């Protein structure tokens, strides 16, 4: 019955190719791609922006690390007993325990029979009832408004107001999103309107989080780099902003500046004064400010404090300029990455622009209602006197205290090793040490057609089983080399990792001395 | 201290405007947008594709319906006692009960202490343990691979193979997504590469689901309409496909055809023969086939059956052409819209193209792990003999039986009313009846600058409290008028809705006779 199969010619090829093959039923029932296929879609005729984008924290090294893990599990002999993944801010994958209150609220909201259980604390039940009253059919299985469940948006607004010392927050300026990722993509897409043949440009700190470079590439937008000053704790200088803007303007229509505070991958925390300068600069140059503030709970340095861009704008400047601030349930002390909760607050947007922004969101229907509820628990934790208060506080404090210790340990370790230099990790979840690589390493990497820091970290992975991300994935001053490591592995594993690093680095330098 | 505020001039305005206002501290602490603002972002300089997109199922009528609900709650007098929302396929918002097994698995995976509870069935516990073994740190709070949790992808592949009578399914061709929405946007974005000044075009059935028109608009792609034949149960004719392709080719580079089966909003179910014709047509014209098969569990007509495009391609044709099939946890019998689970299977894609597709997905990190687990429960329901089997089957059967009865009732009711005509609702969750509107109605609507069917359904909402969506939101043959209603309200409310419809339609026609 089936005696021929047509393989369609490439859409762009000169002539379609048709191959006739004898087939038996088994082959016919197989969906394996025929090897002779010349397909409609090939790497040259699909979206080249997607082809070109890179997302280093999920790049080839991570795939290799997963492979090594599998091989170890299957009994393969390696020079290490376990693979340590320090490539991505994935707290619970590194065995951070979830916050009990959050999980109880989610479980109870999902299986409402638990509302009748005596094992469930009262404040959990109250929270669930409060939220479900705002869900269609009192179910988390209903779509919410595209901007999110109304009561959760209101709780977020209350949280922001309190965080910012009383600066008002209109809940209708807050929208929930699938992690912070969707917020950022949404805002970048909103401003992607060319007024000339030049692309729209966005100023991005270097080093940056690869979501920005990947999204700008995907949207065909221009990335105008401004370099953070490694020599002064990754601070941000006004001169560098001006240089970047001037250069970027030649190639693009610059419409926004992204600031990541606390910094990823740098671990730095901006001072109030630095934020004022950035706002002055944005005001002067008509730039939307995109403040990535997902690490607002992660400040470890005694002399640093998190200041939101919004609070600083409204209390320390007279500017009332457009600002979008993003937050996530994936970081902080909760680390609920897989639940995909996040939000964005927009300030000083015109109402008609906001309406269009929300209309655009509606084509996504809504973010996960359970992700939204996760965010709710973060912005409205149990209060003193409530059943879950003490446990919540102790779990949260332990996680943040562990991170604080590791933040110190990581910088100290790196700085104790020859040829490595790290700024203090004042916040976020990462260190981004600089590597002073001998010329021989650079030549060896070149001969392998690899970036020197990529070569370095791949050797670290292959020989010591630690997966970190090369600085080239985040951007760095030309001629400098770095890598990013998270500080997320649990204390004993973290110490093991630091130990492996010391050994590797010494061996590596010896090899190339 | 704060005595002036600068309002930045419009980015495109001739001159920046600076307004000096006396301020007291209270005003300074308020984030209310100043009314005089001339902002950086305005409706003309933001992304015009987002400005122009429309998503009818969440349009102004839905906002009005929400308002009416609030007014009723506050005691306002209306000519109706309740608002019935039949605008969107949001099952649980219409009080459909969630499937117990799904909710138990989700709750237990979220709060793993429930694994120790004697109230939780064994097959629920087994499922949770099986899945968590594949999650980082055995937690749903970890990121999964961007394509989804491996074991869930494998379960989906097994489901597809069984559904398709043994046609092989490679789990690596399956990726999880945030509802079906993200799958569809991902595939459309992938092919959005111009080879000339013409935009990329996609053939879309009319009537269609507004996600397609909205996304094509957002991505700057061309929508090439092909009309479904209302007179023959919304079937799809080859002549019409050829006409559409020929016309569309003049304006665009047509690269794909979308087919929604079972049909939304039409409620039709394609025959195997019709699918073969579409595949022949796609093969002949080098088109990627995007099969929206999210209603594959929703077939009510005794003479209809769901046939997947993949099965038909591999068993009834010799074509091996690129196909993307989407599925959702939001429809079927489960109706878990708020959990945002979905998947896409790609067939016959080149490996290098698939790798780029997955790289693009990685910039989203991953879809909600709980959404993924919802999908797992759908594709791998409890088996005979397992603890949850009987309850699962009875809950599922009841929901589908109710839908089946309402599918018949809705068409019968519409066809019993003068000036209304409906095809049978063979599948999905909607009816799309045609309205034969008197000329006077059309004139009245025109004088109000409204589409006639928009005017009709807004009168239905204002006077009888039923929210449905005008046909113009889905597309229809020029000069014809329709609306879409879901069949989701629970049986008693559904009968009430049909009753309100009969009364409204009669009154409305009398008014304009």
A424 and A466 housed in the same domain: yes
Which is more confidently placed, B157 or B62? B157
Residue window 78-107, chain B: list those with CB within 8 Å of chain A: 88, 90-96, 98, 103-104, 106-107
Q: Contact B176/A338 with Cβ under 8 angstroms? A: no
pLDDT tier for residue A38 given thresholds of 50, 70 and 90 = low
Tokens read off for A212: 């920005």
| Same-domain status, B37 and B63 | no
| pLDDT, tens digit (0-9, with 9 covering 90-100), for A316-373 | 999 999 999 999 999 999 999 999 999 999 999 999 999 999 999 998 999 999 999 9
The CATH number of residue B203's host domain is 3.40.640.10
Chain B hits for A362, CB-CB cut-off 8 Å, are 55, 58
CA-based nearest distance A377→chain B, Å: 14
Cβ-based neighbours of A363, under 8 Å, separated by 6 or more: B53, B55, B181, B210, B211, B214, B215, B218
Within a domain: A432: yes
Search chain B and give the residue with CA nearest A188: B47
B165 and B290 share a domain? yes
Residues of A whose CB is below 8 A from B30: 167-168
Could you tell me if B369 lies within 8 Å of chain A, comparing CB atoms?
yes
The number of distinct structural domains making up chain B is 3
CA separation for the pair A357, A324 (Å, rounded): 12
A37 and A79, same domain (yes or no): no
Confirm or reject contact between A179 and chain B (CB < 8 A): yes
> For residues A391 and B165, what is the distance between their CA atoms, to the nearest angstrom?
52
| B469 min Cα distance to partner chain A (Å) | 15
Contact of A105 with A121, CB cutoff 8 Å: no
Same domain, residue pair B40 and B69: no
Instruction: Answer whether B158 touches A (CB < 8 Å).
Output: no
Is the model's pLDDT at A34 over the cut of 50? Answer: no
**Per-residue model confidence (pLDDT) at position B267:** 94
The sign one gets for the Cα dihedral B462, B466, B471, B474 is: positive
Q: Let me know if residue B141 belongs to a domain.
A: no
- A16 pLDDT higher than 80: no
Burial (0-12, 13-18, 19+ Cβ within 10 Å), B229: middle
Beta-carbon separation of B58 and A9 below 8 A: no
Q: What three-state secondary structure class fits B459?
A: helix
Question: With an 8 Å Cβ cutoff, are B178 and A178 in contact?
Answer: yes
Partner residue opposite B195 with nearest CB, options A12, A192, A352: A12
Q: Same domain, yes or no, for A23 and A58? A: no
**B20 and B77 share one domain:** no
- CB crowding A44-80: b at 16 or more within 10 Å, else e: ebbbbbbbebebbbbbebbeebeebeeebeeeeeeeb
| Chain B residues within 8 A of A15 when measuring between CB atoms | none
Flag whether pLDDT at B362 surpasses 70.
yes
Angle, CA of B131, B134 and B137, to the nearest 5°: 110
Does position A31 have pLDDT exceeding 80, yes or no?
A: no
A35 phi, psi to nearest 5 deg: -70, -20
pLDDT band at B4 (very low <50, low <70, confident <90, very high): very low
Nearest to A321 among B8, B48, B255 (CB): B8
Q: Are B39 and A353 in contact (CB under 8 A)?
A: yes
Asked whether this complex has an ipTM greater than 0.85, the answer is yes
C-alpha A146/C-alpha A343 separation (Å) is 12
- Across the range A479-488, mean pLDDT stands at 95
CB contact under 8 A, B367 and A340: yes
Choose the closest CB to B90 out of A3, A136, A351.
A136
The span from the CA of A343 to the CA of A25, in Å, is: 52
Please report, rounded to a whole number, the percentage of residues in chain A having pLDDT higher than 90.
87
Please check whether residue B21 touches A, CB under 8 A. no
Distance CA B279, CA B269 (A): 16
List CB contacts (< 8 A) between A131 and chain B: none
Question: What is the least distance, in Å, from the CA of A444 to any CA of chain B?
Answer: 28
Q: Scan for tokens 């879901």, then name that residue.
A: B486
- Chains A and B form CB pairs within 8 A to the count of 379
Residue B388 counted as domain residue: no
Supply the pLDDT for residue B38. Answer: 56
**Residue B328: inside a domain:** yes
Q: CA of B232, closest CA in chain A: separation in Å?
A: 31
Q: Are A256 and A203 in contact (CB under 8 A)?
A: yes
Quick check: helix, strand or coil at residue B257?
strand
Rounded (10°) CA dihedral A127, A129, A130, A131: 90
Distance CA B326, CA B346 (A): 9
Question: In the numeric block, which tokens belong to residue A197?
Answer: 């043949």
Q: Do you find a cis peptide bond into A440, omega within 30 degrees of 0?
A: no
Mean pLDDT of B462-474: 94
Q: Is A19 on the interface with B (CB under 8 A)?
A: no
Residue B140 counted as domain residue: no
Identify the domain boundary among B366, B385, B419. B366
Helix or strand (DSSP H, E) at A257: strand A253-260
Residues in chain A: 513
Q: What is the pLDDT of residues B405-440, one digit of tens each?
A: 999 999 999 999 999 999 999 999 999 999 999 999
Does A190 contact B144 at a Cβ distance shorter than 8 Å?
no
Of A3, A5, A168, the CB nearest to B29: A168
Contact yes or no for A193/A357 (Cβ under 8 A): no
Alpha carbon distance B423, B412 (integer Å): 9
Instruction: Work out the average pLDDT over A128-139.
Output: 97
Query: Is residue A14 pLDDT above 70, yes or no?
Result: no
* Same domain membership, residue B252 and residue B401: no
Tell me, yes or no, whether B194 and B328 share the same domain. Answer: yes
Contacts of A487 (CB under 8 A, 6+ apart): A403, A406, A407, A410, A425, A429, A430, A431, A494
DSSP conformation class of A206: E
Residues of A in contact with B51 (CB under 8 A): 356
Flag whether pLDDT at B10 surpasses 50.
Answer: no
Q: Does A423 touch chain B (CB under 8 A)?
A: no
**Does A505 fall in a domain?**
yes
For the stretch B229-287, pLDDT in tens is 999 999 899 999 999 999 999 999 999 999 999 999 999 999 999 999 999 999 999 99
Assess if residue A8 is contained within a domain. yes
C-alpha to C-alpha distance for B265 and B57, rounded to whole angstroms: 11
Domain extent for A7 = 1-46
Of the candidates B103, B136, B215, which has its C-beta nearest A111's C-beta? B103
Pairwise CA distance, residues B199 & B251, whole Å? 8
On whether any CB of chain B is under 8 Å from the CB of A220, the answer is: no
Average pLDDT over residues B17-24: 31
Average pLDDT, chain B: 91
Of residues B61 and B380, the one with the higher pLDDT is B380
Q: What is the mean pLDDT of chain A?
A: 91
Residue from B190, B191, B145, B189 nearest B171 by CA: B145
Same domain, B262 and B170: yes
Work out the minimum CA distance from B25 to partner chain A, whole angstroms: 9
Read off the CATH number of the domain in which B402 is found.
3.90.1150.10
Q: Provide DSSP, A396-438.
A: HHHHHHHHHHHHHHHHHHHHTSTTEE-----BTTEE--EE---
Burial of A438 (0-12, 13-18, 19+ CB in 10 A): middle
B199 touches chain A (CB under 8 A): no
In a domain, A180, yes or no: no
CB B390 within 8 A of CB B475: no
Q: Which residues pair with B343 in a beta bridge?
A: B176, B327
Using a CB-CB cut-off of 8 Å, the residues of chain A touching B2 are: 318
Task: Please indicate, yes or no, whether residues B41 and B63 belong to a single structural domain of this protein.
Answer: no
Of A129, A97, A99, the residue nearest A114 (C-alpha): A129
On the 0-12 / 13-18 / 19+ scale of CB atoms within 10 A, B351 is exposed
| Lookup result for tokens 């928009």 | B454
Inter-residue long-range contacts of B469-474, CB under 8 Å, 24+ positions, other chains counted: B469/B56, B469/B57, B469/B59, B469/B61, B469/B87, B469/B265, B470/B56, B470/B61, B471/B207, B471/B432, B472/B56, B473/B54, B473/B56, B473/B57, B473/B59, B473/B210, B474/B56, B474/B206, B474/B207, B474/B208, B474/B209, B474/B210, B474/B265, B474/B432
pLDDT category at A26 given cuts 50, 70, 90 is very low
- What element of type H or E holds B201? strand B200-206
pLDDT band at B56 (very low <50, low <70, confident <90, very high): confident
Strands (E), B1-46: none
Question: Within this chain, do residues A410 and A484 fall inside the same structural domain, yes or no?
Answer: yes
Distances (CA, A) of B444 to A232, B117, B502: 70, 64, 21
């Amino acid at each position: 019955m089936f005696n021929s199969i047509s393989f369609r010619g490439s859409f762009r090829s000169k002539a379609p190719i048709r191959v006739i093959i004898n087939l038996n039923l088994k082959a016919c029932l197989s969906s394996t791609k025929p090897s002779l296929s010349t397909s409609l879609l090939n790497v040259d005729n699909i979206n080249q922006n997607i082809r070109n984008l890179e997302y280093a924290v999920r790049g080839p090294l991570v795939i290799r690390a997963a492979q090594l893990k599998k091989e170890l599990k299957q009994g393969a002999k390696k020079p290490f007993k376990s693979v340590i993944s320090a490539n991505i801010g994935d707290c619970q994958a590194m065995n951070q325990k979830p916050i009990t209150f959050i999980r109880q609220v989610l479980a109870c909201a999902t299986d409402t029979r638990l509302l009748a259980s005596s094992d469930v604390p009262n404040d959990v039940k109250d929270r669930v009832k409060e939220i479900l009253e705002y869900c269609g059919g009192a179910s988390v299985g209903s779509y919410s408004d595209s901007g999110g469940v109304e009561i959760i948006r209101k709780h977020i607004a209350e949280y922001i107001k309190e965080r910012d010392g009383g600066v008002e927050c209109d809940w209708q300026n807050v929208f929930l999103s699938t992690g912070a990722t969707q917020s950022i993509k949404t805002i970048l897409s909103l401003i992607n309107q060319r007024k000339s043949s030049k692309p729209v440009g966005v100023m991005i700190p270097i080093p940056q989080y690869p979501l920005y470079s990947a999204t700008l590439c995907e949207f065909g937008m221009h990335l105008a780099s401004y370099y953070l000053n490694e020599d002064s704790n990754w601070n941000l200088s006004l001169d560098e902003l001006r240089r970047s803007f001037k250069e970027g303007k030649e190639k693009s229509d610059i419409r926004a500046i992204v600031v990541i505070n606390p910094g990823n991958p740098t671990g730095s925390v901006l001072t109030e004064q630095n934020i004022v300068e950035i706002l002055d600069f944005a005001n002067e140059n008509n730039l939307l400010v995109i403040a990535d503030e997902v690490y607002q709970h992660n400040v470890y340095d005694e002399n640093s404090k998190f200041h939101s861009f919004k609070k600083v704008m409204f209390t320390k400047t007279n500017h009332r300029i457009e600002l979008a601030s993003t937050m996530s349930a994936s970081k902080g002390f909760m680390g609920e990455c897989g639940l995909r909760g996040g939000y964005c607050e927009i300030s000083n947007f015109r109402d008609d622009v906001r309406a269009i922004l929300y209309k655009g969101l509606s084509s996504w229907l809504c973010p996960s209602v359970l992700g939204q509820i996760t965010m709710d628990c973060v912005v409205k934790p149990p209060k003193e006197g409530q059943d879950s208060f003490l446990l919540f506080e102790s779990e949260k404090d332990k996680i943040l205290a562990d991170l604080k210790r590791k933040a110190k340990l990581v910088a100290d370790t790196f700085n104790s090793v020859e040829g490595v230099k790290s700024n203090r990790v004042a916040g976020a979840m990462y260190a981004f040490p600089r590597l002073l690589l001998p010329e021989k390493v650079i030549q060896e990497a070149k001969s392998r057609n690899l970036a020197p820091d990529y070569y370095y970290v791949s050797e670290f992975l292959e020989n010591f089983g630690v997966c970190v991300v090369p600085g080239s994935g985040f951007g760095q001053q030309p001629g400098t080399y770095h890598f990013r490591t998270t500080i997320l592995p649990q204390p004993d594993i973290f110490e093991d990792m630091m130990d492996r690093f010391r050994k590797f680095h010494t061996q590596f330098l010896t090899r190339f001395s």
